[in-house]
Amino acid sequence: MVLNELYLNAADLTSSIGISTGKFAGCTIVSLIVGAMIAAAFCFKQHKTKSFLTTLALLPMIVQVVIMLVNGNLGTGVAVAGAFSLVRFRSIQGSAKDILAIFLAMAVGIATGTGHLVLAVVFTLIVGALNIGYLYVPFGDDDETEKVLTITIPESLDYSHVFDDIFRQFTSKATLEQVKTTNMGSLFKLKYNITLLKGVSEKVFIDELRVRNGNLEILCSRRMSDSDRLL
């Protein structure tokens, strides 16, 4: 009795927006499936947070419901746009690939919301396959020889040219980016962007620097883009 009443209420709700219960259920199921496919494609060999993947999986269904509710009604569409404009998303900025994933989820949500289920599935498969394929293409990969070098030196050393001969021997480029005093002004911390020569030993390079800076602290790390620190 209760299930029958719930079914009738659902039928009344879907008919009020001009959509059959079967069509609504079918579109919702497809939205959930393509959302899961998008989440799987964008977490393949990539670190993403659980909250971000959950968002990707559920976003197509949410967009689909919004599109179905609007359903050609200009007044409702304006009201929905106004409601969304009041929402302020206070999340950290994502990388370019994260933005791509969000737009893909929204696009397939619009496709399922307008009844283009086959298009939504095919488009998801194509973009997901391309996303995974590009992971194996050495295009735009980080150069392993590019490093960020931080050296601590005593204040008695002239930091302007103290390491020039070592840099000429081990690097193809070395640019002093930052100078900072520390330990009550008795030490300098120098930050360089460097590109190591092919085949040089990073350990030998650091050992040469240690001899020159009096065995004070040295940090050599890979150069990180802003997107590496997000999500």
Dump pLDDT digits (tens) for 84-104.
665 555 455 667 788 888 889
Q: Is the pLDDT of residue 128 over 80?
A: yes
Taking a C-beta distance cutoff of 8 angstroms, is the pair 69, 17 a contact?
yes
Q: Is the pLDDT of residue 112 over 60?
A: yes
Strand partners, 148: 193, 221
Instruction: Give the pLDDT confidence score for residue 96 in this predicted structure.
Output: 76
Average pLDDT over residues 216-226: 80
Give tens-digit pLDDT for 4-59. Answer: 554 445 455 555 556 777 888 888 999 999 999 999 998 888 878 888 889 899 99
pTM: 0.63
Instruction: Give the pLDDT confidence score for residue 84 in this predicted structure.
Output: 60
The rounded mean pLDDT for the chain is 81
Neighbours of 177 (CB within 10 A): 11
Task: State the Rg of the chain over Cα.
Answer: 28
Domains of the chain: 2-135 (no CATH), 146-223 (3.30.70.240)
Instruction: Give the pLDDT confidence score for residue 225 in this predicted structure.
Output: 58
Least confident piece of the model among 142-151, 158-167, 184-193? 142-151
Give tens-digit pLDDT for 158-186. Answer: 888 889 999 999 999 999 999 999 988 88
At 182, give phi and psi (nearest 5°).
-150, 170
DSSP assignment letter at 20 = -
Instruction: Give the pLDDT confidence score for residue 149 in this predicted structure.
Output: 93
Q: How far apart are CA 47 and CA 99, in angstroms?
A: 15
- Contact residues for 121 (Cβ-Cβ < 8 A; gap 6+): 30, 33, 34
Q: Is the pLDDT of residue 229 over 60?
A: no
